[in-house]
Structure 1
């Protein structure tokens, strides 16, 4: 075991487990009625129950597993810097090494001021089906003064990653004629170095792409065509045509102009971007040239040849066909309304709301949609979805105070890499991940998810999990208490339940329940004995393979 591995292990990033074997997907009758696929692909699952935010995440634990990879304030840099990685994790990009889905670099944006990017050098240990983080690099932006609010970004076909600055703060500290922030920045993930575009030996930002509140970037397989979304400013969709393949430092910039407020057609209008003044002021110039789409948050290539983008302000996912100088078939593909969610045990409507943010397609044409607003859900829109005949599933709910960010898949679409940004520090619920880590969403976390047969070990509890979230089920009152308190529990469905009280040293003080518990409401009394009285206790609830911990206190008389 090398020194880097030991240090990461000590930081509780991962631990070893046994090899797993395939298991069958659990399907509910409701899911079957909706035509849910039984194929063992990452987009094949039964929806979780819509519950809004809780103390942890919910995901389809019957079929999927997660593994923590990095945590803000815990994971340490060992290349390019010292200390621990910062928070506000955003774009989470997996850049494969030589096309591999089992080894690559995970580039994680940090949406701060100053901003940052961390790069994890990772490998999949096929004997355990667990990911190992071999090194954690800190990208140095000091040669470019700084980056700021590194939001989303994109991966290029030639194996680099682009990080997007979502701000137009003013300042030219190095006097080079370009404003310091508001740009796209290309990084070589292998070296952690910023790309030198003009060959003068110094790194550059991608000035020709324009200064704006960049949300993301999508680079075409033709290595020439680029699309960008601006969250704020002009709130427009842009297209850039490079003069040479793989060289995004020179080219022509356009902004999308819809022919009318309701038209299904539009035109690409050229935006001046040849001089430093032009490039510094793109976000202002484009306001009068293009259409305001109400805070576009992401633009992505669809498997049907169309472009898909979000409107965070309206909660709409739009799509259109690019014909070169014009566009056609502009359509509001997903719109805010109540959608029926079929979960294991029933169905209910869930409000789509607003705040639609990141978009990512998987290998089957499912569109994964992450929300920053509303209920902050992770949705999956099926390929046959239409506005008239909706077909959506709910993959994940998020912890209190947070949003999910930056979803990106491995080339074989078996592994999804995602982050949870700014969760509440008051979240105390825990559960055990695929590597055996006790995961608590009280700081930013980056993790990988996959189907169970592709991630982690198989044991007696795997395959029996469900989407129950202990944090939403348990309540303790009074807390603090004088002599005794009541622990209330509401079970939405039948499950195996262990409810215990521990002292702060981890010793079990009292088992309130252990065994199968039917759906319903339950109340348990807890009165500590004098010999066990230490003032602070932990109520630990385990529902199948999900765990929650709630702190309670005895007040002084």
Structure 2
């Protein structure tokens, strides 16, 4: 078993692969952890208290369900389940809204590969190309501190927190961290991931990653709570947020990528990077501050979660849990109440008064947007597109409709919130030039989804739906709200028109082969009553929604189905398109979704440790044919980590994921870690990073 450092070598050389063990997994030192840090001491769902605090700003302590009068999606699902014999596998108890307990003890006790014989059916629902026939891993217990990949595969770390991004950046030193160094180094907790080719050789590319949030308790020695952070440490945290653009190189297609600081290297942060506001809200009184009286330039981006890569080679990034960084006050616009801004924030207001709404009440309105970055021009100014609405954006997945307009699907990652679609006003070429910026996302129409169960379900769908307009032709269609108000307070507008409350709608992607749209609803443990497209109350496990639009991406009506209702397959409240439990593997809390070039669906998870006592993973899910709903696990990530940003090249046989927040376990600290990812032996703390899995040569 070999390991490699994530730091780029001074000379180009092939990194040694790290081969995942098949027996005798190394486990983290769970015993001896001190008591959980005095942050929240709670969780309502499958997350640790650390995750609730650092990522979400303890959002579940102040739930902000939608005020929409439309029946929630889980209620519609119950209606569909009750009427459709095909979904009988959900069980009568599920139809009644019972929250059936997961088989956690049984799942945790399964040996690795215990279901391999059942799930490997030759030619059945397997990925195509070089990924065909991989041997599934798992189920893997949640306390395994390793990246586990299929037999015959190996993995290596491409880049991790603190590795150089900009030419001349210093090597990472845990005990000598500075804001200046972090501004040139790879940020923390990478999430969205894309790789964009440089030239036509296939040997050079730009890797772009989001940095969602920071775990100060395992970043800085001596941390006790947010108040214990020094001013310098807060600035380091701000610099570790945002995005990274770094050049990567390899010997050829299907070979390992390695990072290499170059003139393309760039850090986009919460503290130093200016952004242009575009669209209808730019210049509005709602976004003017004392530092920016014209309301057109914002400093920084934060809590960047998933994203999207545009057909013209730029990268979109969603600002998600922005509310956790601001301190509330009586000067805060009450219409921001639906976003859950707390009385404390993360303490950033102690060093930067713009995060104190008592001093800058409009600063919070300048976050929660879709960001666009041109990675090919390190001197370009990123943009925040206000025409696409303001909410807790998980990401934005763009595609080009038949008439050349650009369509983006977007989820608002909160229990009881909504699914959105943006349709541009202007058109682009079907094959726009890569790296060339345009203003196509600056103007367009914003819609929100309403789901229903109408008529008798057919063999291919459970219900129908419509896209309700919030803006049309540059004007508001929400009674009593101006265009600017609709776009700044989009949650309120969506509720006003009767959008369907969902169970944490996260990543939304369109299948490039079939055109169907898939949405990951991660979970919603806070739901106390049954409601639309999930038949369970206290939904700890989540589900996947499939949307078939009645036309191309610009259509305003659709049908929907539930190909997978997640959990332990032996739990009768789960559903895998009618497949028996012996044919599928456990999956819970779907988060990011991605497609390979053959239309294969890949789902990464965030919450399997808390819901099934299994490591978070990347799964392949079949969506067509007789094995529709079949789940097979490709890889799992280390203890405390979630799987993010899957990037699957089935033709080359390359799978890349972000390993986010390894070691994020209650009670962990710099002095008492539970993970050593990426196992390079050089640093005594875990470092979030990007890994690549390849067939062993």
Q: How does the TM-score come out when normalised to structure 1?
A: 0.67
Cα shift at 1:298: 0.7
Please give the alpha-carbon distance, in whole angstroms, between the structure 2 residues aligned to 1:8 and 1:18: 12
Indicate if the aligned counterparts of 1:68 and 1:439 stay in contact, CA closer than 8 A: no
Instruction: Specify the structure having the higher radius of gyration (Cα).
Output: 1
Cα shift at 1:229: 1.1
Counterpart in 2 of 1:157? 311
Name the CA shift for 1:218/1:100 in 2 (closer, same or farther; >3 Å): farther
Please give the alpha-carbon distance, in whole angstroms, between the structure 1 residues aligned to 2:253 and 2:567: 45
Indicate if the aligned counterparts of 2:642 and 2:661 stay in contact, CA closer than 8 A: yes
Please give the alpha-carbon distance, in whole angstroms, between the structure 2 residues aligned to 1:93 and 1:430: 21
Counterpart in 1 of 2:687? 443
Counterpart in 2 of 1:360? 594
Name the CA shift for 1:43/1:175 in 2 (closer, same or farther; >3 Å): farther
Indicate if the aligned counterparts of 1:178 and 1:280 stay in contact, CA closer than 8 A: no
Name the CA shift for 1:368/1:308 in 2 (closer, same or farther; >3 Å): same
1:398 to 634, 637, 651: 637
1:416 to 626, 632, 655: 655
> How many residue pairs were aligned?
424
Q: Give 1 or 2: higher strand fraction.
A: 1
Please give the alpha-carbon distance, in whole angstroms, between the structure 1 residues aligned to 2:657 and 2:683: 15
Indicate if the aligned counterparts of 1:14 and 1:437 stay in contact, CA closer than 8 A: no
Larger RCO, structure (CA 8 Å, separation 6 or more) = 2
Cα shift at 1:441: 8.6
Cα shift at 1:423: 0.8
Name the CA shift for 1:29/1:14 in 2 (closer, same or farther; >3 Å): farther
CA deviation string 1:48-90 (max 9, x = no partner): 1312223433434423222211111344543797433231111
Name the CA shift for 1:179/1:56 in 2 (closer, same or farther; >3 Å): same
1:207 to 378, 386, 389: 386
Please give the alpha-carbon distance, in whole angstroms, between the structure 2 residues aligned to 1:293 and 1:319: 14
Indicate if the aligned counterparts of 2:165 and 2:244 stay in contact, CA closer than 8 A: no
Cα shift at 1:443: 2.1
Q: Residue 105 in 1 paired to residue 206 in 2?
A: yes
Q: Residue 8 in 1 paired to residue 137 in 2?
A: no
Please give the alpha-carbon distance, in whole angstroms, between the structure 2 residues aligned to 1:372 and 1:264: 27
Indicate if the aligned counterparts of 1:234 and 1:286 stay in contact, CA closer than 8 A: no
Name the CA shift for 1:428/1:230 in 2 (closer, same or farther; >3 Å): closer
Structure 2: gaps spanning 5 or more residues: 1-5, 18-112, 170-179, 214-236, 275-297, 327-331, 333-352, 355-359, 428-437, 476-482, 524-538, 571-575, 577-581, 609-613
Paired residues for 1:77-116 under 5 Å: 77-78=166-167, 82-83=181-182, 84-97=185-198, 101-112=202-213, 114=238, 115-116=241-242
Paired residues for 1:34-433 under 5 Å: 34-35=122-123, 41-75=130-164, 77-78=166-167, 82-83=181-182, 84-97=185-198, 101-112=202-213, 114=238, 115-126=241-252, 129-135=255-261, 136-139=265-268, 142-143=273-274, 144-169=298-323, 179-193=365-379, 195=381, 204-222=383-401, 224-232=406-414, 235-245=417-427, 247-260=440-453, 264-272=463-471, 274=475, 275-289=483-497, 290-302=499-511, 303-313=513-523, 314=539, 315-323=542-550, 324-339=554-569, 350-353=585-588, 355-374=589-608, 375=614, 376-384=616-624, 390-410=629-649, 412=651, 414-424=653-663, 426-427=673-674
Name which of structure 1's ranges 162-171 and 174-183 shifts more when overlaid on structure 2.
174-183
Q: Give 1 or 2: higher helix fraction.
A: 2
CA RMSD, 1 decimal = 3.9
Structure 1: gaps spanning 5 or more residues: 1-5, 20-25, 196-202, 342-346, 453-457, 459-557
Indicate if the aligned counterparts of 1:428 and 1:440 stay in contact, CA closer than 8 A: no
